[in-house]
Amino acid sequence: MLRPFATPITATSPRANVEPAHTADAEHISIDELAQTTTDALETHRPSYIRLPIGWPGEYCRFEHPQDYIGFDGGGGIGSGPGMAVGAALAMRGGERLPVAILGDGDYLMGLTALWTGVHNRVPLLVIVANNQSFFNDELHQERVARTRGRPIENRWIGLRMDGPRMNLATLAQGQGAIGLGPISTVADLKQAIKNGVARVRDGALCVIDVHVAPEYARAISSSLLRHIATKD
């Protein structure tokens, strides 16, 4: 689960991470690759980013106009992303901007039925799910608690990983009447999916692209979220 975008905080503790940030492999692309590929592919389409996840690299936030980035709820919760995406896209319907929401898998799953509302009301919208198969922000919370209480940090994933079997988030979108593309696990497939998705949205559809990203934030972001924790040696 990648929560709403926030300004990254510089890491302060070299011991904050349990494990290094994962990079691209045969089954995932990195969040950096997702950001670069998406922003490059959408640049000529005048995208209006409705939501961005917390792991989104700040250097890819190319915002010069108020509608370049709509923002988020500010409450720090999850589940509001799909509803806010549909609402913002409804407000932009008929305009020149391409409404794009990049959601974490947890946010997406907790508000999934909002997509049906968008389809029912013929709201054009492109949703890209940064799917790391985990409620990962809560994994970091579990690690904070474990460190504070002197418990095994290796258990932080229990009850939070969404794997075995993996959920097909594109199929769930299809169940709401939307277009579902993916799962995507390579940059080449992502480029093609974005091209197809934009074409469908321009035709008036609501399209969801399920992208498997590496199950970790960038090292600096993970470190900042775990900062100032008293550790027991």
Please report whether residue 231 resides in a domain.
Answer: no
Strand segments, DSSP code E, in the chain are 47-51, 98-104, 125-131, 179-184, 206-212
Burial zone of 107 (CB within 10 Å; 0-12 exposed, 13-18 middle, 19+ buried): buried
Please report whether residue 16 resides in a domain.
Answer: no
pLDDT digits (tens, 9 = 90+) for 93-111: 999 999 999 998 888 988 9
Domain count, the chain: 1
Please report whether residue 176 resides in a domain.
Answer: yes
Strand (E) or helix (H) holding 91? helix 81-92
- 76 pLDDT band, cuts 50/70/90, is low
The pTM (predicted TM-score) of the whole model is 0.76
> What local confidence, expressed as pLDDT, does residue 10 receive?
28
Q: What residues make up the domain containing 135?
A: 31-225
Residue tagged 């990079």 (tokens): 23
Please report whether residue 156 resides in a domain.
Answer: yes
Q: Which residue has the higher pLDDT, 120 or 226?
A: 120
- Return the CATH number at 174: 3.40.50.970
